[in-house]
Amino acid sequence: MNRPEGFPRNHADLSPLDGARLLAIFVDELIPGAENWPPASMAGVHGIVAMRICDASGQGDLSDLLDAILAAGGLTESGSPEERASVVAKVETANNALFERVRAAVFLAYYETPFVTQAIRRLGRPYASRPHIAGYTMRPFDPARDTPGHNRGFYVSTNDVRPVDTSGLNLDRTHTERWGIER
């Protein structure tokens, strides 16, 4: 993207209005509007996120985010959808840890808002933003109906614990280097 003359190069060049506008466009790239769903900025997400990341890091994360967006080419409402998505993708790649923190903050803030809570309920699922207040209705456990019908399960009683043969395990001599999901 070609930068026009006078295009801001870092957050210090941004007016408060431009900073807020830039963050609003950014959060809308993360969560755009769609049928049933308000875009993130319309739900007020950019303000919530700005406060939270400043709470967490001082001004640092917010400044770094604005700088990262500007370094990636900046975001404008007049830019094409492809250009805006490209800028966000660059931010994600170049500043991944920061991006992931902000992404989580954006997603959490979005789904907290009453507008989005309403949109979730329109999907047909019960959902409350503060479910602890009234809870959810569930059918009580009925022993006659809900007791498992299988006869599986056993335990070794205290007196029946016997030594097992561990000689084939070689726990002292082998070392599992590849373990976990990346085996």
Task: Please give the residues from 145 up to 164 whose contact with other proteins meets the rule CB under 8 A.
Answer: 146-148, 150-158, 161-164
Distance, in Å, from the CA atom of 167 to the CA atom of 19, rounded to the nearest integer, reads: 67
Which of the stretches 7-15, 24-32, 62-70, 71-79 binds other proteins when contact is defined by CB under 8 A? 24-32
Residue found by looking up tokens 């614990």 in the block: 161
Q: Which of residues 80-139 bind other proteins (CB under 8 A)?
A: 85, 88, 92, 103-105, 107-114, 116-117, 120, 123, 125-127, 129-139
- H or E stretch covering 146: helix 143-146
Question: Which CB atom, from 12 or from 56, has the smaller least distance to other proteins?
Answer: 56
CB of 15 to other proteins, least distance (A): 26
Within positions 41 to 60, which residues make up the interface with other proteins, using CB under 8 A? 52, 55-56
Among 8, 21, 32, 42, binds other proteins (CB under 8 A): 32
Inter-residue contact 102 to 68 (CB < 8 Å): no
- Residue 144 lies near other proteins (rule: CB under 8 A): no
Q: Phi first, then psi: give them for residue 154, nearest 5 degrees.
A: -155, 165
Long-range contacts of 136-143 (CB under 8 A, 24+ apart): none
> CB 85 → other proteins: shortest distance, Å?
6
- Which residue, 4 or 81, has its beta carbon nearer to other proteins? 81
Query: What is the C-alpha separation between 101 and 63, in angstroms, rounded?
Result: 14
Number of residues that bind other proteins (CB under 8 A): 75
Query: Residues 8, 18: contact at Cβ < 8 Å?
Result: yes
User: Across the strands, what pairs with 57?
Assistant: 59
